[in-house]
Amino acid sequence: MSEVRRFEVLRAIVEDYVTTREPVGSRMLTERHRLGVSPATIRNDMAALEEAGYIAQPHTSAGRVPTDAGYRVFVDRLAEVRPLNVPQKRAIETFLSEAVDLDDVLTRAGRLIAQLTGQVAVVQYPSLRRSGLRHLELVPVAEGRLLVVVITDTGRVEQRFCELPLRPDGTDGGIVLDDITLGELRARFNAAAAGKRLRDLPTAFAGVVEAVGPELGGVAQAVADLVVDTLGEEGEERIVLAGTANLARSEATFEQGLSPVLEALEEQVVLLGLLTEMAGDGVGVRIGHENRLDGLTETSVVASGYGTDGDTVASLGSIGPTRMDYPGTIASVRAVARYLSRVLPN
């Protein structure tokens, strides 16, 4: 049997099953596709594909459906990903560029992926650990206390309170900073952090602490420690979920029902770990049992990283049944990731 023809038969089965949601028989393949061979030959090819584990016969149906292995071969041998049309591309760019802040743009990105794919969208907030410091603001809120506002180069805004150390003479109460002194301290921190990544900030800030002298050294050190700790936090990762209701349309596809899938989506830490693993170059695809996360073994995950200046700062993706439109989902995830990278703060 021709290897090329066998793949064409498999491709036709995948495409028809995704479209019709019904097991595919040899007669359907003969009527819908120009495979250039007789129905008997197609039946022989289907028997060989079934023996190889690429398709299976559900229940007593005469038709066949793709297995996880069959979907994997199909995805790996995609000659090209169906591109989005011009109106779709323009709509994505316009919709994302109209966002007013980071929360808005990520929410919009999730809604876009969910609408384009008809599946669940997952969008990770840019990781603080992968971000740099864009701007630091110091706001006095009470004697001995500052509000430190950290704005990253990926658009995230974090606010933390900083308790100031005792006065140099050791008396109670924090140091009182006038506007001029506070402005100078702010300017020193921002100048030191310009263009720096997290790993470089401790050294840069050490220079600020030394430069301000003993009078303000304790204050500068407290602020420096707070900023470095904030950008290095490991438990602050957040995600946007959109389109969960779309799963109801495919409920019959899940043999174990929707509950395991919904429970898996609630495990955000584990879900983030999966996305991070997949966020390499290009778009990654995990199919069925390739997802080691309990509850997602009947789903496929299509994910991509996004970021600025070539650095991946977070991931986004689409989750749906293994019976999904892989070319369309890959194209949608890739397009939104690219546009999101473009509209993030530079």
- Averaged over 291-304, what is the pLDDT? 90
Q: Which residue shows structure tokens 């050490």?
A: 206
- Averaged over 23-41, what is the pLDDT? 84
- Given a cut of 50, whether residue 1 has pLDDT beyond it is no
The three-state secondary structure class of 319 is: strand
Q: What is the pLDDT of residue 279?
A: 73
pTM, whole model, 2 decimals? 0.76
Q: What is the pLDDT of residue 70?
A: 95
Q: Which residue shows structure tokens 């969910």?
A: 114
Q: What is the pLDDT of residue 126?
A: 82
Average pLDDT, the chain: 85
CA angle 145, 146, 151 (to 5 degrees): 160
* 130-180 pLDDT tens trace: 677 888 999 988 777 889 998 887 777 889 998 887 555 544 445 567 888
Q: What is the pLDDT of residue 241?
A: 93
Q: Which residue shows structure tokens 């099953």?
A: 17
Element (H, E) at 301: strand 299-308
Q: For the chain, how many residues are written?
A: 346
* 44-55 pLDDT tens trace: 999 999 999 999
| Inter-axis angle of helices 86-97 and 102-117, nearest 10 | 150
* 243-273 pLDDT tens trace: 999 988 887 778 888 888 988 888 887 888 8
Q: What is the pLDDT of residue 258?
A: 86
Of the candidate ranges 11-20, 55-64, 210-219, the one whose mean pLDDT is the lowest: 55-64
**Distance from chain centroid for Cα 65:** 29
Which residues 6+ apart lie within 8 Å of 101 measured at CB?
155
Which residues 6+ apart lie within 8 Å of 191 measured at CB?
none
Q: What is the pLDDT of residue 340?
A: 86
What would the two tokens of residue 263 be?
A: 């429970």
Q: What is the pLDDT of residue 316?
A: 94
What would the two tokens of residue 95 be?
A: 């919709």
- Residues 192/207, Cβ–Cβ less than 8 Å: yes
Burial class (CB in 10 A: 0-12, 13-18, 19+), 302: buried
Domains of the chain: 3-76 (1.10.10.10), 86-127+237-343 (3.30.450.40), 130-231 (3.30.390.60)
Please give the C-alpha separations between residue 271 and each of 40, 122, 278, 341, in angstroms, as whole numbers: 45, 9, 11, 21
Kindly indicate the confidence band of residue 67, based on its pLDDT and cuts at 50, 70 and 90. Answer: very high
Q: Which residue shows structure tokens 């530079």?
A: 346
What proportion of the chain, given as a percentage, has pLDDT over 90?
35
What proportion of the chain, given as a percentage, has pLDDT over 70?
91
Of the candidate ranges 49-53, 77-81, 220-224, 325-329, the one whose mean pLDDT is the lowest: 77-81
Q: What is the pLDDT of residue 32?
A: 85
Phi and psi torsions of 60, nearest 5° = -105, 15
